[in-house]
Each structure stands twice: as structure tokens, then as C-alpha cells.
Amino acid sequence: MQRLKTRACNALNFLKSDLHPRQTDYKFADPLKVSLPMYIHLKTLGCRLNEAELETWSRDFQALGHSLTNQPEQADLLVVNTCAVTEEAVRKSRKLLGRAHRQNPHARLVVSGCYASLDPAATSRTEGVDLVVDNRDKERLVEIVCRELDLKVMPDAAIEAESAGLLERGRQRAFIKVQDGCRYRCTFCIVTLARGEERSRLVPEVIAEINRLHAEGVQEAVLTGVHLGGYGSDIGSSLHDLISRVLAETDIPRLRIGSLEPWDLPERFWELFQNPRFMPHLHLPLQSGSDSVLRRMARRCKTAEYRRIVEQARVEVPDLNVTTDIIVGFPGETDAEWRQTIDFVESIGFGHLHIFAYSPRSGTKAAQLTNPINREIKRRRSEELHALGHKMQRETLQNYLNRTLSVLVESAGDTGWSGYTPNYLRVEIEASPQLELCNRILSVELTGITADHDKLNGRLASAGP
């Protein structure tokens, strides 16, 4: 009996170790009250941060002895992480909840995310919803679900579940949520309201999670957050400190960071790239190449400053790949302002563009602006920007022909394998799908560009570490 209780408590301690240290006033179910493990289906919409949260929940549920399923019809519990960044995202979130309930009306349905957090009362009234977990409580979602829905622990399964990781689900890259919330109020963004005040995870927690994932075989970690540059403002730390300590206290071969606002680059940031394990890719959201549009967006970086940052970055970091976000058709965007955006984007030469046609989001200041841009103009401008983006991407890829770079191999196709270089360029590798290459870092000779002009072709040179 004591041995059984010890094993159950070990599983519970594993879950508690991932909780924010300030959250200590919750009680777990008695580990001796056991039941059959449940099948749980997790689904998310939206950003990388939502994906990182889903990965954490999956590990925590498995640590308690429950099993994951890709089939919602087979699940006893459905967990949906919603998005509200645009009205279209809201529509998709509502549709996803309805579809989840229709696919499996007998399963318990738990909802979290930005859509649910902006109007939890309305979400809780949605047919089939059993529980709404606010964004501010996401770190404790598994704990809250277990308590509120009376999910029990299965100790024998729990002790084995700790070894179940991303690799078993075909994922070689782990997204690590290190921060939530944002202090800024860009006029087009609803996420600051949905996510609340800034909250940072302690550095030892992040390091422990990365070490655990690396021990499971994960080769690459990506640090993510709503306002990543604000990491540590509430705990006396900084993004520079976090990255430095992760590089010093873990051995994971590859470390990346998610989207980082250009005005948030920490002091001594470029020196971090001297460590070859810190990957040379930066996603710096621009949103517009017109200073007058940036003012209406309440962005904190003008185009001249953005240009200086990118120029310095390319001097300091060899092979740096800079990618960005652009919003098309922001209210009042004139033809002259649009030309400024096109000219600025082309002069910078991005490796990839994420392009979003503006749509009003209720609850934001931008939704109240006059002179909306009609759909046809937004369509034409989007097409022009997409064409420019493809041109810049081809030019970026051409710079790497006849070179040899390390590639983390992630998936196999009918004729070969694919993966990503350190600076996040995708490579199609000519190699037999029968070879055991998945999750290996290999040296690849870059020999050409694919027919669709968005990937490199390559052949194996030699095995990497």
C-alpha cells in the first residue's frame, strides 16, 4: 500500500513542479482514489503560445496516467484552446466548440484561450461546455480540470506516462511558454485584454522543462510568450538572463526564440548568438512600412529605427534570417502609405512574410477608426505583397546554394526527408525514406531550390552530432 501511494505521489509532484510557485493554495485529489485512465483530445487555434500550452497540458495529463488521442470521437475529455486575435478567429473558435460537441456529445468539454477569456459567461453557456478556464489560470488548467471534473489518478499508468513525449506524436521541436500577458496596447490587438498582465515563469522552471524534454529526445526548444521581450519584468530577471542560463544549464542542441518586438531587444543581445546553439533567426514584427500607419497602430518603432536594428543584426550575426508580420489595409491606409510599405519591405529584404488582411476586431481602438479599406483593395494589396514576399524568399534561398548547413530532420515524404537549417530555412533532402533519419541533426549540401521556390533542395553530406 505504501509503495502504491508513493508512486501516485511522485506523479502528482511531477505535475506540481510545472505550476507557478505562487499558486500553492490548491489541493489535489487523494492519490489512493484511483480509476481507469481517461482518453483526452487536445485542440488549439491561433498562436505558437497556444501550441506551447497544449504541449504542457499533454505532458501533465499523461503524468497523471491519462492517455491522449487524436480522435475526438474516442475521447472522454475534450480540451479546446481558443483564439480571438481577429473576428475570423472568434468565428473559428465558436465553430470548433460546436463541432467538438457534435463529434462527441458524451465527452466532457473544457474551454480556455483568448476567446473564452474575453467572455467566459457566454462561453460557459455554449452547448456542451462543462468548464471554462481563464487565461490567467492556464498554468493550472490540468489541476483545475482534475479538481472541478473530479478526474482521478491511475498510479500505475502515471508512472509510465512520464516517458511519453513529443517524439511519439511526431514533434521534434518543443514550444516552451516562458511568459504571458502584455503591457502594450497596439490599437489592432485584443490579445492584451484577453491575456491580462505580464507574468513570467521562473528561470529554473524553464530550464527544468527543457532538460526534461531533451532527455526524452527533443533536439530543439523555442521560447515563446505574448510579449517575449518583457520576460522577467515581474520577477527581477530579463530575456538576456533567461537565454544565457538556458544555454549554460542545458545541453539541448538548438534553442530559438519566438516573435520579438523590435523595440524589446535586450542589452548585449547579439553576443548571445556567439553560442552556436542559439539559432540565427529573428521574427521581428513590422506591421507596416509607413510611419503614419505605425502611429495609428500605436507601434513603438519607426521604420528608420527598424532599419538600423536589422542592419546591425546582419553585421553581428552571420546568416541571420529576419522574418516579419505585415498588416494589409489598416483603416485609412492611403495608396501613398501602401507604396511606402512596399518600398520599405523590399529594401529590407525579408526571408519570409506573414501577411494579414486587416479585419476589425470589436473591443480594439482600431475598430473605431474611420476610412476602412474595402475588400477589393485589400485583396489587390495582399496579392502584390505576396508576390514581393515570394521574390524575397527566392533571393534568400539563392544565397545558400552550394553551401553545407546542419539540418534537423523532422519528417519523411514519398521521396525523401525534410527539415530546417539553423536560420529556419526548410530543406527537402534527397534520401531514402527507409533510412532512419528522423530527429537527427545532419550536414546537408544545399544543391538547388524546389519547383515552388519556397524550399531548398539538398543531399546528405555527413551525420551531425
> Which tens digit of pLDDT belongs to each residue from 297-337?
999 999 999 999 999 999 999 999 999 999 999 999 999 99
* 238: its cell numbers: 530579463
The residue with cell 536589422 is 310
Averaged pLDDT for residues 125-141: 90
* Distances 265 to 237, 239, 281, 347 between C-alpha atoms, Å: 14, 9, 14, 22
pLDDT at residue 233 is higher than 50: yes
Averaged pLDDT for residues 90-112: 90
Instruction: Count other Cβ atoms within 10 Å, centred on residue 385.
Output: 20
Rounded CA separation 42/54 (Å): 7
> In this predicted model, what pLDDT tens digit does every residue of 340-354 receive, in sequence order?
999 999 999 999 999
> In this predicted model, what pLDDT tens digit does every residue of 48-62 receive, in sequence order?
888 888 888 988 888
Say whether domain 404-463 belongs to CATH 2.40.50.140: yes
pLDDT value, residue 206 = 96
* Distances 172 to 70, 73, 168, 253, 438 between C-alpha atoms, Å: 18, 27, 9, 12, 9
Averaged pLDDT for residues 32-48: 73
> What are the boundaries of each domain within the chain?
2-161, 170-279, 308-399, 404-463
Alpha helix (H) ranges present in 17-161?
48-63, 87-103, 114-118, 120-124, 141-148, 155-161
Nearest to 221 by CA among 162, 177, 282, 168: 177
Q: Give 264's pLDDT tier (boundaries 50, 70, 90).
A: very high
User: Please, are residues 80 and 27 in contact by the beta-carbon 8 Å criterion?
Assistant: no
Q: Give 11's pLDDT tier (boundaries 50, 70, 90).
A: very low
User: Please, are residues 401 and 447 in contact by the beta-carbon 8 Å criterion?
Assistant: yes
Which residues, at least 6 apart from 296, have a Cβ–Cβ distance to it below 8 Å?
A: 187, 330, 331, 332, 366, 369
pLDDT value, residue 371 = 94
pLDDT at residue 430 is higher than 90: yes
pLDDT at residue 169 is higher than 70: no
At the topology level, CATH places domain 2-161 in Rossmann fold (3.40.50)
At the topology level, CATH places domain 308-399 in Transcription Regulator spoIIAA (3.30.750)
- In degrees, to the nearest 5, what angle opens at C-alpha 109 toward C-alphas 106 and 113? 165
- Examine domains 308-399 and 404-463 and report if their fold is the same: no
Beta-strand pair 39-44/67-68? parallel
User: Please, are residues 372 and 328 in contact by the beta-carbon 8 Å criterion?
Assistant: no
CATH of segment(s) 170-279: 3.30.750.210
Instruction: Calculate the average pLDDT of the chain.
Output: 86
pLDDT value, residue 171 = 62
User: Please, are residues 266 and 237 in contact by the beta-carbon 8 Å criterion?
Assistant: no
pLDDT at residue 18 is higher than 90: no
pLDDT value, residue 420 = 97
Which residues, at least 6 apart from 172, have a Cβ–Cβ distance to it below 8 Å?
A: 166, 218, 219, 220, 408, 409, 410, 438, 439
Nearest to 64 by CA among 34, 90, 84: 34
Averaged pLDDT for residues 161-184: 70
pLDDT at residue 437 is higher than 90: yes
461 backbone φψ class: left, alpha, beta (φ>0; ψ -120 to 50): alpha
pLDDT at residue 13 is higher than 60: no
